[in-house]
Amino acid sequence: MAHHDHGKHGGKRYWLDDKRNVAKVFYALIAVDVLWLAADFFYKKKAEFDAWGGWADGGLGFYPVYGFVGAFLLVLAAKQMRRVLMRPEDYYERRRDGGAS
Amino acid sequence: MVDFLLSPPLLLMFGSVALAAAPRNVLPRTVLRALLLALPVWSLWRFWGLDFGDHAQFDLFGQTLTLMRIDGLSRIFAVIFHLAALIGSVYSFYVKDNFQPLVGVFYAGSALGVVLAGDLWTLFLFWEIAAVSSALLVWVRRSGRAAGAGLRYLGMQMVSGVMLLAGIVLLRHELGAAPGWAEFRDLTGLLEDGGLGFANLGPTLILLAFGLKAAFPLLHSWLIDAYPESTPAGAVFLSAFTTKFAIYALARAFPGQSELIWIGGLMTAFPIFFAVIENDLRRVLAYSMTNQLGFMVVGIGIGTELAINGAAAHAFADILFKGLLFMAMGAVLYRVGHVNGSDLGGLYKSMPITTGLCIVGAASISAFPLFSAFATKSLIMSAAAHEHYLWLWLVLLFASAGVFHHAGIKIPFFAFFHHDSGIRCKEAPRSMIVAMVLAAAASMAIGLFPLAEMWFGVANPFYELLPYPVDYEVYTTTHVITQSQLLFFSALAFATLMRTGLYPPELRSVNLDADWLYRRVGLRVWDGVAAACVALHRAGYAVAGRLAARALATAQRHLGPQGFLGRSWLTASMALWVALLLAAYLVVFYWRLG
């Protein structure tokens, strides 16, 4: 079974334990994204639709914008859903009269 | 007779029962396990030797039923069910007890019976056997929560069974004869006059029965409720069969049913919101499963050859990569004791192999180029585009970004990376790793076959397994770039939200879903009705009691020792009264005569 290792310097240090390296991963992701965006300039896209003035889905940067905005709004909307939907972990286990079992 | 008993569905079912019944001293565990693994292999070998058409017909209550009818659509499901039974069994060898793989293989046999059924009665028979045997896989966790979840699960499965039975009976009544293969394969055709609803109650009920098991919106919560309450191995078996044979049944009976398009679209979109805020990572996977089933339902609703191919292919791939993700989370559950995102993190240090295999599953479900869903989901997306369903296509694209977000990133990130939770445990047991490697390899093969076909001209065995001929190029420049853009920018959104602190933290909680309607509202209504009955009973009792008391008091007053009628009278007054009575009698007598 699992045990907890609370000693900060007791275990082996991993590359990702360093916050600067996590930042490096983030900047690398941005660099990769810039490259993917740049790719739009170098090929002829085979579009299926010509909606929104031809931007969906043949336009420049349609997929990057859709992916970023979609995922961003998804999380913000889901976060708001918590206000209505979130309940304590033992919500369904509680006795019917409302008291904790 | 032997051929009948050795037909693949019965071979798996009777084989597992025979192994379960074998005394322990006759069959040592290793021999039993070897035989258990041999069952799906033998069954698949026998299945592969059968031609398209009807097999193993039998008479029951004066009707000729067809145990197996093989065609392109049933074949692909039968093949993946065998693989799932094999991989699930290997995975479940981490416990000494063989109960789970035995029940799992039995359940796989019943699922095989559903996809090979040559008529609706046979389908119904296996539909019910699968419901009961799968409930055992929820209960095997032996916890209070699992007991409740298993009961609710079985209840919902029974509702599906009853709707299916009622639908078949109504259909028989309407047709005047037992619905045969011609009706089964084209229930959509029977709906042409009047569409879904009371006018066509039989087919409508059958669609709902299939839809319940395919996790249609509002009918989906049994899946979210029960699967995550099972054991690590139980969830792997459960994730493979029930929902997928429901997809098969929909594809068989309702291809091109237009309502399925928006139902499927809804299924792809709404679960991803729940998945983002869900803390139990196996429950996240259950939401993710609903979302993937949505893609398949959309494909069936579109109904073109490309779309049906997409639905079948995606079901095949989903069994592998969803199974892989459930296996990885099961390994975490087994080693750590829970899969709460709020309390995990940094497990890549303890479980590097599981981490790697989980990432393969995550990349597969997210449809990264080179991975399986890239070669399967795109068939459905393209079918939607070819039929010019713009809004549907936009929803599917949003859902694709969302899948990556919650299943592709959230699952591996919160379990294996994020902040170090300090948990140190052993790597997953060997049987789990072997099973995960098998699933990962099969899943990657699906993604790589089209590339091999393009570069080396090697025939794609996976596409050849699909129900219709495939004329589709997966690895086009546009497809690779646009899909990568969508996914990498979705990843950028996640990273940005994490770094800015906008991402909602994982919290120990439950989120209300449709099951709230019967677990809380329904229960409250039931409580209310019960309380009203009790109150009515008490009130009635009180009124009756008061009336009885009043009657008793009146009787007491008149008949009691001091009562007018009950007390002792003087003899003189008695004589007076008798005299008066006689006098009155005399008066009346003369008056009457006069």
What is the ipTM metric for this complex?
A: 0.87
**Burial of A56 by CB count in 10 Å (0-12 exposed, 13-18 middle, 19+ buried)?**
buried
3-state secondary structure B393-410: HHHHHHHHHHHHHHHHHH
More reliable by pLDDT, B166 or A60: B166
What phi and psi values does residue B364 have, to the nearest 5 degrees?
-70, -50
Is the backbone peptide bond immediately before A57 cis, with ω within 30 degrees of 0? Answer: yes
Task: Tell me how far apart the terminal alpha carbons of chain B are, to the nearest angstrom.
Answer: 106
Kindly report which listed range (B54-58, B128-132, B488-492) carries the lowest average pLDDT score: B54-58
Interface of B with A in 313-342 (CB under 8 A): 335-337
Check CB contact of B5 with chain A, cutoff 8 Å.
Answer: no
User: Could you say which DSSP state residue B280 is in?
Assistant: B
CA distances from B556 to B99, B250, B559 (A): 72, 75, 5
DSSP-derived pairing of the beta strands B63-70 and B423-424: unpaired
Cβ neighbours of residue B23 under 8 Å, at least 6 residues apart? none
Kindly report which listed range (B93-97, B253-257, B317-321, B504-508) carries the lowest average pLDDT score: B504-508
Q: Which residues of chain B neighbour A32 with C-beta distances below 8 Å?
A: 488
Q: What is the pLDDT of residue B592?
A: 85
- Strand (E) positions, B3-93? 53-60, 63-70
B65: β partners: B58
Q: What is the pLDDT of residue B570?
A: 83
User: Could you say which DSSP state residue A13 is in?
Assistant: P
CA of B266 vs chain A CAs: smallest distance (Å): 15
CA of A19 vs chain B CAs: smallest distance (Å): 10
Biggest CA–CA distance in chain B, Å, is 135
Q: Whole-angstrom Cα distance, residue B343 to residue B436?
A: 24
3-state secondary structure B176-218: CCCCCHHHHCCHHHHCCCCCCCHHHHHHHHHHHHHHHHCCCCC
A87: β partners: B510
C-beta atoms of B504 and A39 within 8 A: no
User: In whole angstroms, what separates CA B275 from the centre of its chain?
Assistant: 17
pLDDT per residue of chain A (101 residues) written in tens, 0 to 9: 577 665 444 567 888 888 888 889 999 999 999 999 998 888 877 777 877 777 777 778 899 999 999 999 999 998 898 888 888 888 888 755 444 43
C-beta atoms of A11 and B386 within 8 A: no
Task: Tell me how far apart the terminal alpha carbons of chain A are, to the nearest angstrom.
Answer: 28
Contact yes or no for B196/B162 (Cβ under 8 A): no
Segment B429-451 shows an average pLDDT of 95
Check CB contact of B1 with chain A, cutoff 8 Å.
Answer: no
Q: Give the CA-trace dihedral at B149, B152, B155, B160, to 10 degrees.
A: -90
Segment B329-350 shows an average pLDDT of 90
User: Could you say which DSSP state residue B517 is in?
Assistant: I
C-beta atoms of A76 and B337 within 8 A: no
Which band of pLDDT confidence, cut at 50, 70 and 90, is reported for residue B65?
confident
Check CB contact of A2 with chain B, cutoff 8 Å.
Answer: yes
Segment B541-551 shows an average pLDDT of 95
Interface of A with B in 39-68 (CB under 8 A): 39-40, 43, 45-46, 48-49, 51, 56-57, 63-68
Q: Which residues of chain B neighbour A85 with C-beta distances below 8 Å?
A: 274, 277, 511-513
- Nearest in space to B7 (alpha carbons), one of B127, B118, B162: B118
Coil/strand/helix, residue A94: coil
Q: Which two tokens stand for residue B555?
A: 């009787």
CA distances from B357 to B94, B218, B436, B516 (A): 17, 33, 7, 35
Backbone φ/ψ region at B29: left (φ over 0), alpha (ψ -120 to 50), beta: alpha
C-beta atoms of A26 and B519 within 8 A: no
Which band of pLDDT confidence, cut at 50, 70 and 90, is reported for residue B483?
very high
Q: Which two tokens stand for residue B44?
A: 């698949």
Q: Whole-angstrom Cα distance, residue B234 to residue A28?
A: 40
Best probe of the B interface among A12, A69, A75, by most B CBs < 10 A, is A75
C-beta atoms of B527 and A96 within 8 A: yes
Kindly report which listed range (A90-99, B197-206, B507-516) carries the lowest average pLDDT score: A90-99
Best probe of the B interface among A21, A63, A97, by most B CBs < 10 A, is A63
CA of B246 vs chain A CAs: smallest distance (Å): 29
C-beta atoms of B523 and A1 within 8 A: no
pLDDT digits (tens, 9 = 90+) for B121-147: 999 999 999 999 999 999 998 888 899
Segment B432-451 shows an average pLDDT of 95
Q: Whole-angstrom Cα distance, residue A52 to residue A62?
A: 10
The minimal CB distance from B488 to the residues A36, A66, A70 is found for A36
DSSP-derived pairing of the beta strands B53-60 and B63-70: antiparallel
Segment B370-399 shows an average pLDDT of 93
Q: Give the CA-trace dihedral at B359, B314, B156, B334, to 10 degrees.
A: -20
Contact yes or no for B397/A66 (Cβ under 8 A): yes
Q: Whole-angstrom Cα distance, residue B318 to residue B366?
A: 11
C-beta atoms of B502 and A75 within 8 A: yes
**Burial of B311 by CB count in 10 Å (0-12 exposed, 13-18 middle, 19+ buried)?**
buried
Check CB contact of A31 with chain B, cutoff 8 Å.
Answer: no
The minimal CB distance from B423 to the residues A2, A30, A63 is found for A2
Q: What is the pLDDT of residue A6?
A: 54
Q: Which residues of chain B neighbour A1 with C-beta distances below 8 Å?
A: 335-337, 425
Interface of B with A in 128-147 (CB under 8 A): 145
Q: What is the pLDDT of residue B424?
A: 86
Q: Whole-angstrom Cα distance, residue B333 to residue B432?
A: 12
CA of A39 vs chain B CAs: smallest distance (Å): 7
pLDDT digits (tens, 9 = 90+) for B218-238: 999 899 999 999 999 999 999
CA of A101 vs chain B CAs: smallest distance (Å): 13
Segment B379-390 shows an average pLDDT of 93
Highest mean pLDDT among A49-63, A86-100, B70-84, B399-413: B70-84
pLDDT digits (tens, 9 = 90+) for B234-266: 999 999 999 999 999 999 999 999 999 999 999
Residue B318 has pLDDT above 50, yes or no: yes
Kindly report which listed range (B103-117, B257-271, B580-594) carries the lowest average pLDDT score: B580-594
Contact yes or no for B223/B150 (Cβ under 8 A): no
Kindly report which listed range (A60-74, B340-354, B474-488, B510-524) carries the lowest average pLDDT score: B510-524
C-beta atoms of B499 and A49 within 8 A: no
Rg of chain A, C-alpha, whole Å: 23
How many other CB atoms are found less than 10 A from the CB of residue B411?
27
Q: Whole-angstrom Cα distance, residue B355 to residue B371?
A: 17
C-beta atoms of A48 and B386 within 8 A: yes
More reliable by pLDDT, B405 or B42: B42
Check CB contact of A30 with chain B, cutoff 8 Å.
Answer: yes
Contact yes or no for B301/B395 (Cβ under 8 A): no
Q: Whole-angstrom Cα distance, residue B369 to residue B479?
A: 9
Q: What is the pLDDT of residue A41?
A: 86
Interface of A with B in 71-100 (CB under 8 A): 71-72, 74-79, 81-82, 84-89, 91-93, 96
CA of A72 vs chain B CAs: smallest distance (Å): 6
C-beta atoms of A36 and B489 within 8 A: yes
Average predicted confidence (pLDDT) for chain B:
91
What phi and psi values does residue B417 have, to the nearest 5 degrees?
-120, -120
- Nearest in space to B365 (alpha carbons), one of B280, B446, B266: B446
Percentage of chain B modeled with pLDDT above 90: 68
The minimal CB distance from A78 to the residues B277, B417, B420 is found for B277
pTM, full prediction: 0.89
b/e per residue B113-122 (b: at least 16 CB within 10 A): bbbbbbbbbb
pLDDT digits (tens, 9 = 90+) for B29-53: 888 999 999 999 999 999 999 999 8
Closest chain A residue to B384 measured between Cα atoms?
Answer: A48
CA angle B334, B335, B341 (to 5 degrees): 85
Q: Which two tokens stand for residue B328?
A: 């990885």
The minimal CB distance from A26 to the residues B350, B405, B495 is found for B495
Residue in the block written with tokens 């275990």:
A11
Which band of pLDDT confidence, cut at 50, 70 and 90, is reported for residue B59?
confident
Q: Whole-angstrom Cα distance, residue B320 to residue B314?
A: 10
- How many residues would you count in chain A? 101
Q: What is the pLDDT of residue A9?
A: 45
Q: Which residues of chain B neighbour A57 with C-beta distances below 8 Å?
A: 482
Best probe of the A interface among B152, B270, B276, by most A CBs < 10 A, is B276
Kindly report which listed range (A8-12, B108-112, B359-363) carries the lowest average pLDDT score: A8-12
Segment B286-304 shows an average pLDDT of 95
C-beta atoms of B489 and A30 within 8 A: no
What phi and psi values does residue B511 have, to the nearest 5 degrees?
-110, 140
